């Protein structure tokens, strides 16, 4: 298993392929909602197994030290193997390394306890995408002194 973090065009293409499988084909979320124009200006995490891309997440940096993690997706055949946990840990670790102060997510409501394990705190219910209720959560990376 290899975790790659970056923003080159091939990594973005592989991330988009995974997201198309998961979001568009499985979850019936229109492709236009996934392709929001932020991929090229974001950092992507990609997990490959035996040279096959199987999981991805995206981190978009804001000018104020905050960021947004989005587009977390694992291919159907690789779910249940802990890959999403590895992705989230890798994104949080990278965010800390580059000086990000906080990470916000809009996650599926049923994933609330999953993200709480990594330090995210529930803020509020937000938009409904397709048939999926999303919630806003935030993780502060600033250590109290």
Domain 2-103 part of CATH 3.40.630.30: yes
- Please tell me the predicted confidence (pLDDT) of residue 38: 96
The SS3 assignment for 138 reads: strand
For residue range 29-63, what is the model confidence (pLDDT) as tens digits?
889 888 999 999 999 999 999 999 999 999 999 99
User: 3-state secondary structure string, 79-136?
Assistant: CCCCHHHHHHHHHHHHHHHCCCCEEEEEEEHHHHHHHHCCCCEEEEEEEEECCEEEEE
pTM, whole model, 2 decimals? Answer: 0.92
Each domain of the chain, given as residue ranges in start order, spans: 2-103
Whether 143 shows a pLDDT value over 80: the answer reads: no
Work out the number of other CB atoms within 10 angstroms of the CB of residue 47: 24
Determine contact, residues 55/87, Cβ cutoff 8 Å: yes
Whether 9 shows a pLDDT value over 60: the answer reads: yes
The partner residues of 129 in beta bridges, in order of sequence, read 132
d(CA 35, CA 19): 9
Average pLDDT estimate for 16-31: 92
Average pLDDT estimate for 85-95: 97
Average pLDDT of every residue of the chain? 94
């Amino acid at each position: 298993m290899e975790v790659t973090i970056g923003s080159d065009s091939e990594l973005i293409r592989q991330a988009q392929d995974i997201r198309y499988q998961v979001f568009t084909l499985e979850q019936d979320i229109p492709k236009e909602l996934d392709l929001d124009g932020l991929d090229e200006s974001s950092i992507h995490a990609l997990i490959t197994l035996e040279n096959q891309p199987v999981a991805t997440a995206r981190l978009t940096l804001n000018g104020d030290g905050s960021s947004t993690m989005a587009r977390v997706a694992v291919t159907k055949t690789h779910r249940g193997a802990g890959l999403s946990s590895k992705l989230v840990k890798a994104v949080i670790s990278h965010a800390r390394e580059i000086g990000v102060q906080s990470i916000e997510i809009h996650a599926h409501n049923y994933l609330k306890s999953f993200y709480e394990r990594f330090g995210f705190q529930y803020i509020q219910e937000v938009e409904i995408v397709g048939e999926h209720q999303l919630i806003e959560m935030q993780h502060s990376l600033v250590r109290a002194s």
